[in-house]
Amino acid sequence: MHYQNSLEFAQKMDEEDPLATIREEFSIPKNKNGDSEIYLCGNSLGLQPKLAAEYVKRELEQWANLGVKGHFSGDYPWMPYHEFLSEGFAELVGAKSSEVVAMNTLTANLHFMMVSFYRPSKKRHKILIEEHAFPSDHYAVESQIKFHGFDPDESMLMVKPRQNEQTIRTDDLLKLIEEQGDSIALVMLPGVQYYTGQVFDMKAIHRTGA
C-alpha cells in the first residue's frame, strides 16, 4: 500500500476495511444538524455499543427474578463473572487465562499493583512514568510516593517528548533508564500511550531495565 494524502484514498481504504461493518454496532451521537458526529474520544468514554442496553437489561432481569441467588444461579452468575472474561482478555494481551483477571477500576488496580511491587528504599525510590500519562495515573503514583515518605518532585521520574515533537523517542527512554537505573524502583509505562497512540517497545525497555 502506498499512502496518499487525499479524500479519495481515505474513502477507498474505508471501503476495503474488513472491520468497517463494526461501525454499525455502535450508537454515534448526532450534531445539531442531525448528522453523525466525528467521534475520536476513546480513552475517556467511547461510543456505546448498541448491545450494551440489552446486556444491562438481561442482568436487571436476573436481579429481579433471582435476587441474591443471582450470585450463584442463572446463565452468568455474578460471583464468578470475572472468569467469563478471562479467556478473551488473555488472548488480547498474549497471556494465559490463569494470568489475567477483570476487576475494579484502573486506578484501584494501579494501587494494588504498587502496593505489591513498589518497595522503595533510600537509594532506589523513583517511579518512571510518561509525562502525559492519564491524570489519575499521576495521582496514584504521587499518593504512593507520599505514602512511603518520599517527595513526588524527587521520586516521580517523568519521560517526555523532545521539544516540538509529539512522541517519546525510544533511544531517549532507554538512555534515561540507563542513567537513572540505580534509583528507579518501578517502571510504569503502558503498551500504548493514550494521549498520542504511541506503541512503546516493551522488549527493549525490559532488556534495558533488567
Report pLDDT digits (tens) over 144-156: 999 999 999 999 9
Domains of the chain in sequence order: 7-49 (no CATH), 52-99 (no CATH), 106-209 (3.40.640.10)
Measuring CA to CA, which residue among 134, 178, 185 is closest to residue 156?
185
- The pLDDT tens digits for 105-133 are 889 999 999 999 999 999 999 999 999 89
Per-residue model confidence as pLDDT tens digits over 21-77: 999 999 999 999 999 999 888 667 889 999 999 999 999 999 999 999 999 998 899
Q: For residues 114 and 187, what is the distance between their CA atoms, to the nearest angstrom?
A: 11
CB 33 within 8 A of CB 42: no
φ, ψ at 32 (rounded to 5°): -65, -20
Starting at the earlier edge strand, list the strands of the sheet with 126-130.
156-159, 126-130, 184-187
* Cα–Cα nearest to 207, from 183, 180, 177: 177
Q: What's residue 103's pLDDT?
A: 87
pLDDT in tens, 168-195: 999 999 999 999 999 999 999 998 888 8
pTM beyond 0.85: no
Say how far apart CA 24 and CA 26 lie, in whole Å.
6
In the DSSP assignment, the letter for residue 198 is P
Quick one: which of 128, 192, 206, 204 has its CA closest to 160? 128
- Predicted local confidence at residue 102, as pLDDT: 87
Q: How far apart are CA 150 and CA 114, in angstroms?
A: 14
Residue 210 has pLDDT above 70, yes or no: no
Query: Torsion angle, CA of 137/141/143/148, rounded to 10 degrees?
Result: 160
Sequence-distant (6+) residues with CB within 8 A of 56 are: none
